[in-house]
Structure 1
Amino acid sequence: MTDTPDPLASFCTALPKAELHLHIEGSLEPEMMVALARRNRVAIPFRSVEEARAAYRFTDLQSFLDIYYAGADVLRTAEDFHDLAAAYFDRAAADGVTHAEIFFDPQTHTHRGVPFDAVVSGLLAAAGAAEAKHGMSVFLIMSYLRHLDEEDAFATLRMAEPWLGDLVGVGLDSSEVGNPPSKFARVFAASRDAGLKLCCHAGEEGPPDYVRQALDLIGIDRLDHGNRSLEDPVLVARLAREAVTLTVCPLSNVSLRNVDTLAVHPINRMLDLGLRATIHSDDPAYFGGYIAENFRATAQARGLSHGQLVTLARNSFLGSFLPDAAIARHLAALDAFAAGAAAATAT
């Protein structure tokens, strides 16, 4: 007897979409962590894949970051970063992702003595292979770690200078509370001057004021998370009026206790308020699901319609850093998919 396919899961998987909020280090599955530890002769506190997977438990953002940074220690060479990214691109392609804009955290690696060039060259090699293998376009976004100081971020920007033509933007991640966007206003201005787009994690655990700082002091092109914006109606109205893209990560929100359960996730409210909300996987190896599972689980818990799911996918392309002509092609493919799905449902 074969399992009956889940129509909702099939729709969410086949739905063409862009992934805009994915930390490549957060796609490090326990199997790869153990394999890379052996390859690089790195000691890790786990005797097996099962022990490593059991350690992927946390109660808030900081406890997650502790295991996240410990796991990243197995990444040492360009080959490691290639293999990590290639595994993610294979999963993303199977999940209907046709364009990906992925974050990487160079300071996590350069502080351990891993050359910046090894990180970027490995990721770029995997991105080129993904385009050839899956027809997927890939952009890289370099994130600054907000628990470090701005001078450290400036040093990272200087390391990136030979690679600026291969990067589309910069972001800001790591421990949010106590590290407001204002702390990095100068390095973001320098990044903008270098031709990079600007993203910022804000309003995940930090207050709505952090979102306002990201808008006013940083001048962001895209807002990562942004859930706590909903606490401020004036801010919500501004985000809607300015069509600011919010890269929302439902399974991450629940795992990090920012939302109690998916059943009360605010994604419906965001859409109802006219926000350009999108759905992504954040750190899927740690949070229990890649992008299609985020779509499916959220749709099931919140009763999202096919139309709302298509809107979320549409928003992901509109919020991407692709040129307009490429966005138009992706939207045409999405419209064709939606029309075909509607016709199949009707018959």
Structure 2
Amino acid sequence: MLQLIDLHLHLPGTVRAHTLAELATKNGVELPMPADHLYPRINSDPTEEEKGKGPWFPLLRVYELISASLRTREDFSRVVYEALEDGLRNSNLCYAELAFSPSVHMQAGVEYKEMAAGISDGFARARETLGVDGRAIAAVNREDSGQVAVQLVETVIEHSNDDIVGIGLDFYELAGMPEKFAEAFHLAGEHKLYRTAHAGEHAPTAETVATAIDLLGCDRIDHGYQILRDPKIVERCAELGTVFNVAFTTSRRALIQWRKDSVAAMVEAGLRISINSDDPALFPTTLRREMDLASEVVPGKTEAWFVSNSIDAAFISDVDKRRLRNRVLGG
């Protein structure tokens, strides 16, 4: 079975229910119900029929509870290791990039250097015991101000870490459009940090994709489905070879047909995409399941094509990309 790569994986979205239960108890976080009951009730947009069967909890509310439960270096190390362990067991994962939101934890009193050290510990243990490699992306919370984003990037630069290699832009797209974070992303680029952003996911325009590339200097795009609204931007991204990190099972308990149709149209239009799991513990899904869906949605492309795109888009050096390609695809 082909080894897989996951480039769009949110750390809170990988936390096992029983791990959340233990960490919440340890760190004094009160959950609204037991974690194994909470996870199946993540539903940001319940139907009229479902509304009477609540309570339901928006994804970002559960993110907040999970983030509040991560307090120590050991907590971060544990969840990083478990994310890679689950990826290996469920999907034959060999490499992943985990996004985390430092400002959320910092506001709760966690020092950046503690979370960074824990993340590195988790990666080191996974490399040694699982043979799975990874890197981390410090994501800007788009609900923060532009100045807070700059401060975050400054903190990442000050506490340079070989495992934290890039800057992202996460959470609900309409809460903070990309131009708000231009200064932060420019600073990241000056210090050779890779850059990515959620764009073209919620905002009904292709312009956010163009802005993320042109103004923020993003090396790749997370999601990006709304790019289909502008054929000229589609054509330009196809010429650039921009990789879009897509996932089918996101933000709802059920698959969205529109998402599947959009991914198929993106590939048909000549865009490069990688397949990812996003929040596999919360919906639930696995990278293997997402890849199987991709084979159904885009039957003309092989798994090797998707994985090759992932390797090209990975936030690692060209030397490491060659090594990864040799390991996974044989050259």
Same fold (TM over 0.5): yes
Counterpart of 1:295 in structure 2 is 291
Number of residue pairs matched?
Answer: 318
Counterpart of 2:193 in structure 1 is 196
CA-CA distance at 1:155 after TM superposition: 2.0
Cα gap change, 1:25 to 1:49, in 2 (>3 Å): closer
CA-CA distance at 1:328 after TM superposition: 2.4
Q: Is the 8 A contact 2:13 2:278 kept in 1?
A: yes
Correspondence 1:185 to 2:182:
yes
Q: How does 1:120-269 map to 2 (within 5 A)?
A: 120-166=116-162, 167-206=164-203, 207-252=205-250, 255=253, 259-260=256-257, 264-269=260-265
1:102-142 per-residue CA deviation (whole Å, 9 max, x = no partner) reads 11110110011111122111111000111112222211111
Q: How does 1:1-347 map to 2 (within 5 A)?
A: 14-46=1-33, 48-59=34-45, 63-94=58-89, 95-166=91-162, 167-206=164-203, 207-252=205-250, 255=253, 259-260=256-257, 264-300=260-296, 302=297, 304=299, 307-336=301-330
Question: 2 CA distance for matches of 1:50 and 1:242?
Answer: 44
CA-CA distance at 1:45 after TM superposition: 1.3
CA-CA distance at 1:253 after TM superposition: 6.2
SS at match of 1:42: coil
Question: 1 CA distance for matches of 2:258 and 2:294?
Answer: 10
Give % identity.
Answer: 26
Cα gap change, 1:29 to 1:59, in 2 (>3 Å): farther
Q: Is the 8 A contact 1:17 1:314 kept in 2?
A: no
Moved more, 312-321 or 326-335: 326-335
Instruction: Structure 1: state its 5+ residue gaps.
Output: 1-13, 338-347
Question: 2 CA distance for matches of 1:212 and 1:29?
Answer: 36
CA-CA distance at 1:261 after TM superposition: 6.0
SS at match of 2:180: helix
Cα gap change, 1:181 to 1:318, in 2 (>3 Å): same
Moved more, 159-168 or 31-40: 159-168
Q: Is the 8 A contact 2:267 2:298 kept in 1?
A: no
CA-CA distance at 1:55 after TM superposition: 2.8
Question: 2 CA distance for matches of 1:303 and 1:101?
Answer: 24
Q: Is the 8 A contact 1:172 1:201 kept in 2?
A: yes
Instruction: Structure 2: state its 5+ residue gaps.
Output: 47-56
Counterpart of 1:7 in structure 2 is none
Q: Which has the higher helix share?
A: 1
Cα gap change, 1:322 to 1:15, in 2 (>3 Å): same
1:68-122 per-residue CA deviation (whole Å, 9 max, x = no partner) reads 1123211111111111111101012231222212111101100111111221111
CA-CA distance at 1:24 after TM superposition: 0.7
Question: 1 CA distance for matches of 2:156 and 2:298?
Answer: 44
SS at match of 1:83: helix
Question: 2 CA distance for matches of 1:148 and 1:253?
Answer: 21
Moved more, 114-123 or 130-139: 130-139
Moved more, 26-35 or 168-177: 26-35
CA-CA distance at 1:22 after TM superposition: 0.6
Cα gap change, 1:160 to 1:335, in 2 (>3 Å): closer
Instruction: Give the alignment's TM-score, normalised by structure 2.
Output: 0.89
Question: 1 CA distance for matches of 2:115 and 2:254?
Answer: 27
Q: Is the 8 A contact 1:103 1:140 kept in 2?
A: yes
Q: Is the 8 A contact 2:139 2:169 kept in 1?
A: yes
Runs of 4+ deviating beyond 4 Å: 253-257
